[in-house]
C-alpha cells in the first residue's frame, strides 16, 4: 500500500530536473485557462497596460529580472526549464493556436455571440490568454538570450541577433502600443486645419502644426464597358473575360449583345442642343464613347458616358439590360498641401501620396482616402496622422532579425 | 501574351514535364535518356518563364497581384527547386514531385481563369511590392518542396531509412523559413509606408504569422532532437497551414475586414 503511494507521487511531481515538454504543455494550457477566467470575470476592460513612462519602467524591470535570474540562477532547474527549448516550443505553438482563433473569427468587438465576446474571442490579440502567453514567451526567450550572450561566442552571433531582434520588436511593439496615436485629419480644398479626429476614443485633438490643402487630384484607369442587368441588379461578365483599355475600334461582346466602339473621347463635354460631345480640358469633362452594335439581332447606336457627381451617366438601354461605361478604378491620388508650423507664416509645400508619407514634428502623415462618392471630383482628402515613439526600437528589432536571418541563410546553403 | 494564351502555354509546359518525367524514370541505364529527360524538364520551365516575362510586359505591372498570378510564379519556380536540389545534392526524385505540383497549380488556373486586368491599386504601387511577394513565393516553393520530400520520406520510411532524404526536407524547410522571415519583415516595413502601421492583425498578417510560428516551432523541435519521424510528419503537414495563409484565408469569416483583397472579377 505504502509503495503504491510513492509511485503515484513520483509520477505527479517529477523533480524539476526532468521537466520538459509535458510540463511546458501544462503551463501553456494553464496560462490560456487562467486568461479566459480573467477575461470572463474581468469585464470589458481588456488587459490594462500603462502608457509612457510607466510602460518603459515595466519593460526595464522585466529586462533586469530576466538578466538577474539568467545569471544568478543559471543552475536552478526551474529557471533552466523556464528558459529552455521545450517550454519555448510549447509557447510558440500556443501563440500560434491563439492566433489561429484570431485568424479565423472576425476581430471586431461585438461581432460574434455574447459568450465569445466574454471570453475575448472577438479581440484575441488584446485578451488575457494572449497577454499571459506572450509574457511567459518573453521570459523564455529572454533567459535563453542571456545564456547565449554571457559568455559571448562569435558562433552565437546569429542566434543572438535573431532572438534579441525578436524580443525587442515584440516587447517594444506591445509595450509601446499604449503610446501609439492614430488620427484622421480631414482636409478640404482651399482650407487649413490643425485639428484631428481620434477614431479610438472619438475625440478631437489639436496638432502641433496645421495643414492647408491646395489641391486634391486623382488619376483613374481607363473606363470599362459593362452590361448591367436591372432585374437581378448585377453586372454580366463579358464573353472573353478580357478587360481591355477603351479605344476606338474596341469590340466587346456578351451573350446576345455585340458592341463596337466607333469613337472614344477621353475628356469631353456634351452641351445641350449639340449633336455630339466636344473635347474639353476642363475639370468637368468626362469620357464619352459612341457605340454601334447589335442586341438580340436588332441594331443599336448611341453615346455612353460615366457621368459624375454633377452630370448624370449616359447609357444605352434595351429591355432590362443597360450598356454602361464604368469609371476606371483609381490609379493614383495625391494631395498638394502646405505644412505650417507654429508661428511661421510661410509654409512648406509637399505632396502626399499613397506609399509616400511625410514626416512632420514626430507625426507621419499618410494619404488615406477621399470622398468616394465624388471620386476624382472630391474636394475632401483624408489624411492619417500616426505618432509612434517606439518605432525606432521596433525597427532596431526588425533589422537585427534581418541580419540574423541573413547569417542563417549562409549557414543553410553552405551545409552539405 | 495574356490569359487567353495561357492554356496552350501551360499544356505545352506540362507535356514537356510529363515527357521529362517519363524519360527520367526510364533512364536507369541509359545516359542519353537521362540527358534528354532533363532537357525536356528544363524546357517546360523555360516555357513558363518566357510566358511570365511576356505577360509582365503586356500587363505593364508586375504579375503578382491576383492569386492566379501568384500560382503562375509558383508553378514556374517550384520545378527550379527540384532542379537545384538535383544539382546540389544529387537527389533526382524531388523534381518529379515538383513538376507534378506545378502542373496541379497550372490546372487550377485553367479551371478558374483570371480576368485580364492591368490595374494596380495605389497601395500596391511601391518598391516593396516585388521583393515582398517574390520573397514569399520563393519561401512557399521551398516549403512545398520540403513537404513533398517529407511525404516521400514517410512513404520510404516504412521500407528503409533514408538519412539523405531527411536532411533534404530539413534544409529546404530551413531555407524556406529564412524566406518567410524576410517576407514577414518586408511586409511589416511596407505596411508602415502604405497603411501607417507595421502590424494591424489583418487576417492575412495573422495567417502569415501563424505559418511563420509553425515553422519556427519546427526549427525548435529539430533543435530539441524530437523523434525524427515525428519531424517528417510535422513538415509534411505544416505546408497546409501555408496554403491557408496563401489563399485559404480569403474564405474565412475573418476575411471580411481584410485590407489584403486584390482580387477582381
* pLDDT tens per residue across span B224-260: 989 999 999 999 999 999 999 988 888 888 887 787 7
The fraction of chain A above a pLDDT of 70, given in percent, is 93
* Any domain includes A39: yes
Instruction: Specify the long-range contacts of residues A33-37, CB closer than 8 Å, at least 24 apart.
Output: A33/A129, A34/A128, A34/A129, A34/A132, A35/A120, A35/A127, A35/A128, A35/A129, A35/A130, A35/A131, A35/A132, A35/A133, A36/A119, A36/A120, A36/A128, A36/A129
User: Which of A328, A344, A376 marks a domain boundary?
Assistant: A328
B166 falls within a domain = yes
Mean pLDDT, residues A341-356 taken together: 86
Q: Check CB contact of A255 with chain B, cutoff 8 Å.
A: no
Instruction: Please determine, for residue A8, whether its predicted confidence score (pLDDT) is greater than 70.
Output: no
Q: Is residue A395 part of a domain?
A: no
Number of folded domains in chain A? 3
Residues A321 and A338 in one domain: no
- Closest-CA residue to B38 (of B88, B79, B10, B71): B79
Question: How many CB atoms are closer than 10 A to CB A231?
Answer: 8
Judge if A205 and A289 occupy the same domain.
no
Whether the predicted pLDDT of A215 surpasses 80: yes
Q: Is A209 in the same domain as A146?
A: no
H helices within B196-227, ranges in order? 203-223
A101 located within any domain: yes
Same domain flag for A293 and A314: yes
pLDDT score for A188: 97
Q: Are residues A22 and A38 in the same domain?
A: yes
Verify that A62 and A198 share a domain, yes or no: no
- Which chain B residue is nearest to residue A88, measuring alpha carbons? B220
Taking an 8 Å cut-off on Cβ atoms, the answer to whether A89 and B174 are in contact is no
Q: Are residues A215 and A227 in the same domain?
A: no
* Residue B263 confidence class, pLDDT cut points 50, 70, 90: low
CB spacing of A243 vs B252 below 8 angstroms: no
Domain-embedded: residue B167: yes
pLDDT greater than 80 at residue A413? no
Q: How far apart are CA A61 and CA A56, in angstroms?
A: 9
Mean pLDDT (whole number) for A231-239: 81
B263 Cβ under 8 Å from any chain A Cβ: no
A312 within a domain of the structure (yes/no): yes
Could you tell me the CATH number of the domain that includes residue B148? 1.20.120
Residue B183 placed within a domain = yes
| Unique residue bearing C-alpha cell 432590362 | A320
The mean pLDDT value for A341-345 works out to 71
The predicted structure's pLDDT at residue A241: 53
Q: Which of B212, B150, B142, B229 is nearest to A92 (CA)?
A: B212
The pLDDT assigned to A16 comes to 83
Q: Does B210 touch chain A (CB under 8 A)?
A: yes
- Average per-residue pLDDT for chain A: 90
B210·A412 Cβ contact <8 A: no
φ, ψ for residue A303, nearest 5 deg: -95, 140
How many contacts does A have with B, using Cβ atoms within 8 A? 137
| Highest averaged pLDDT of the listed ranges A166-175, B88-97, B251-260 | A166-175
Domain hosting residue A336, numbered range: 182-219+331-387
Considering the domain architecture, whether residues A126 and A29 belong to the same structural domain is answered as: yes
Work out the average pLDDT over B99-106. Answer: 96
Asked, for residue A298, whether it belongs to a domain, the answer is yes
For A338-365, what is the mean pLDDT?
90
User: What local confidence, expressed as pLDDT, does residue A345 receive?
Assistant: 66
Bridge-based pairing of strands A316-318 and A321-326 is antiparallel
Note whether A370 and A264 are same-domain residues: no
Residue A42 falls within a domain, yes or no? yes
How large is the greatest C-alpha to C-alpha distance in chain B, in angstroms? 61
* One domain for residues A116 and A193: no
The residue written with cell numbers 475625440 in the block is A203
Tens digits of residue pLDDT in B6-48: 999 999 999 999 999 999 999 877 889 999 999 999 999 999 9
Per-residue cell: A194: 490643425
Q: What is the model's pLDDT at position A1?
A: 40
State how many domains chain B has: 1
- A304 - beta bridge partners? A289
First-last CA distance in chain A: 57
Q: Rounded to whole angstroms, what are the CA distances from A329 to A333, A376, B141? A: 11, 10, 32
Q: Is residue A2 part of a domain?
A: no
Average pLDDT over residues B218-227: 94
Query: What average pLDDT does the segment B153-165 reach?
Result: 81
A228 and A322 Cβ atoms separated by less than 8 Å: yes
Q: How many residues does chain B have?
A: 265
ipTM of predicted complex: 0.93
Residue B92 lies in a domain: no
Chain B residues close to A243, C-beta within 8 Å: 115-118, 265
pLDDT at residue A33 in the model: 96
Domain stop point among A130, A150, A170: A150
Question: Structural domain of residue B155, as residue ranges?
Answer: 121-257
Residues in chain B within 8 Å Cβ distance of A85: 220, 223-224
Higher pLDDT, A345 or A320: A320
Residues in A touching B192 (Cβ below 8 Å): 391
CB-based contact A329 B257, cutoff 8 Å: no
Average pLDDT value for residue range B53-81: 93
> What is the nearest CA distance from A178 to chain B, expressed in angstroms?
14
Which domain-ending residue is among A129, A150, A171? A150
Mean pLDDT of B110-117: 84
How far is residue A15's CA from residue A132's CA, in Å, rounded to a whole number? Answer: 25
B139 in any annotated domain: yes
Residue A3 lies in a domain: no
Cα distance from N-terminal residue to C-terminal residue, chain B: 19
- My answer on whether A342 and A290 are in the same domain is no
- List pLDDT tens digits, range A267-304: 999 988 888 999 998 888 999 999 999 988 889 999 99
Q: Which residue has the higher pLDDT, A345 or A360?
A: A360
Q: Is residue B93 part of a domain?
A: no
Amino acid at each position: 500500500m505504502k509503495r503504491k503511494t510513492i509511485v503515484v507521487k513520483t509520477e505527479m511531481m517529477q523533480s524539476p530536473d526532468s521537466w520538459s515538454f509535458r510540463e511546458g504543455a501544462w503551463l501553456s494550457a494553464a496560462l490560456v485557462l487562467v486568461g479566459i477566467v480573467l477575461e470572463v470575470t474581468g469585464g470589458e476592460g481588456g488587459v490594462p497596460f500603462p502608457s509612457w513612462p510607466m510602460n518603459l519602467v515595466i519593460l526595464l524591470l522585466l529586462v533586469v529580472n530576466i538578466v538577474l535570474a539568467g545569471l544568478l540562477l543559471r543552475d536552478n532547474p526551474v529557471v533552466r526549464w523556464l528558459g529552455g527549448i521545450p517550454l519555448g516550443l510549447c509557447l510558440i505553438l500556443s501563440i500560434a493556436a491563439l492566433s489561429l482563433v484570431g485568424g479565423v473569427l472576425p476581430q471586431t468587438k461585438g461581432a460574434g455571440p455574447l459568450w465569445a465576446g466574454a471570453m475575448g474571442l472577438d479581440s484575441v490579440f488584446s485578451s488575457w490568454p494572449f497577454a499571459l502567453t506572450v509574457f511567459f514567451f518573453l521570459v523564455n526567450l529572454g533567459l535563453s538570450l542571456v545564456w547565449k550572450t554571457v559568455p559571448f561566442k562569435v558562433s552565437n552571433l546569429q542566434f543572438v541577433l535573431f532572438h534579441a531582434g525578436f524580443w525587442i520588436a515584440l516587447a517594444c511593439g506591445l509595450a509601446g502600443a499604449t503610446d501609439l496615436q492614430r488620427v484622421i485629419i480631414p482636409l478640404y480644398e482651399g482650407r487649413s486645419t490643425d485639428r484631428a479626429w481620434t477614431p479610438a476614443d472619438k475625440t478631437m485633438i489639436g496638432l502641433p502644426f496645421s495643414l492647408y490643402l491646395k489641391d486634391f487630384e486623382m488619376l483613374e484607369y481607363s473606363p470599362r464597358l459593362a452590361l448591367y442587368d436591372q432585374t437581378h441588379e448585377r453586372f454580366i461578365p463579358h464573353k472573353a473575360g478580357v478587360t481591355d483599355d477603351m479605344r476606338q475600334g474596341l469590340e466587346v461582346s456578351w451573350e446576345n449583345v455585340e458592341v463596337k466602339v466607333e469613337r472614344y473621347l477621353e475628356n469631353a463635354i456634351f452641351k445641350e442642343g449639340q449633336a455630339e460631345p466636344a473635347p474639353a480640358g476642363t475639370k468637368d469633362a468626362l469620357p464619352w464613347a459612341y457605340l454601334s452594335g447589335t442586341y438580340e439581332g436588332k441594331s443599336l447606336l448611341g453615346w455612353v458616358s460615366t457621368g459624375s457627381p454633377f452630370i448624370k451617366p449616359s447609357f444605352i438601354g434595351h429591355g432590362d439590360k443597360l450598356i454602361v461605361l464604368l469609371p476606371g478604378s483609381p490609379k493614383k491620388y495625391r494631395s498638394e498641401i502646405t505644412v505650417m508650423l507654429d508661428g511661421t507664416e510661410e509654409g512648406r509645400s509637399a505632396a502626399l501620396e499613397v506609399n509616400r508619407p511625410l514626416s512632420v514634428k514626430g507625426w507621419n502623415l499618410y494619404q488615406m482616402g477621399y470622398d468616394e462618392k465624388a471620386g476624382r471630383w472630391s474636394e475632401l482628402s483624408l489624411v492619417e496622422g500616426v505618432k509612434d515613439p517606439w518605432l525606432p526600437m521596433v525597427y532596431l528589432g526588425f533589422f537585427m532579425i534581418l541580419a540574423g536571418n541573413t547569417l542563417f541563410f549562409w549557414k543553410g546553403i553552405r551545409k552539405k | 501574351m495574356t490569359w487567353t494564351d495561357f492554356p496552350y502555354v501551360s499544356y505545352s509546359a506540362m507535356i514537356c514535364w510529363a515527357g521529362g518525367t517519363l524519360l527520367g524514370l526510364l533512364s536507369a541505364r541509359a545516359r542519353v535518356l537521362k540527358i534528354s529527360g532533363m532537357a525536356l524538364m528544363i524546357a517546360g520551365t523555360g516555357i513558363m518563364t518566357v510566358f511570365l516575362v511576356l505577360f509582365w510586359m503586356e500587363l505593364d505591372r508586375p504579375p503578382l497581384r491576383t492569386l492566379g498570378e501568384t500560382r503562375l510564379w509558383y508553378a514556374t519556380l517550384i520545378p527550379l527547386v527540384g532542379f537545384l536540389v538535383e544539382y546540389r545534392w544529387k537527389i533526382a526524385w524531388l523534381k518529379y514531385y515538383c513538376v507534378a505540383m506545378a502542373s496541379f497549380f497550372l490546372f487550377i488556373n485553367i479551371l478558374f481563369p483570371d480576368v485580364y486586368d492591368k490595374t494596380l491599386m495605389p497601395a500596391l504601387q511601391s518598391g516593396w511590392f516585388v521583393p515582398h511577394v517574390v520573397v514569399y513565393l520563393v519561401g512557399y516553393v521551398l516549403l512545398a518542396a520540403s513537404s513533398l520530400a517529407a511525404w516521400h520520406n514517410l512513404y520510404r520510411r516504412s521500407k528503409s531509412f533514408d538519412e539523405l532524404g531527411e536532411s533534404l526536407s530539413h534544409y529546404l524547410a530551413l531555407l524556406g523559413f529564412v524566406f518567410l522571415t524576410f517576407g514577414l519583415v518586408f511586409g511589416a516595413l511596407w505596411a508602415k509606408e502604405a497603411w501607417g502601421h507595421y502590424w494591424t492583425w489583418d487576417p492575412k498578417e495573422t495567417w502569415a504569422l501563424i505559418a511563420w510560428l509553425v515553422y519556427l516551432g519546427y526549427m525548435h523541435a529539430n533543435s530539441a532532437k524530437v523523434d525524427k519521424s515525428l519531424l517528417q510528419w510535422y513538415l509534411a503537414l505544416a505546408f497546409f497551414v501555408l496554403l491557408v495563409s496563401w489563399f485559404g484565408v480569403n474564405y474565412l469569416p475573418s476575411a471580411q475586414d481584410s485590407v489584403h483583397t486584390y482580387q477582381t472579377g
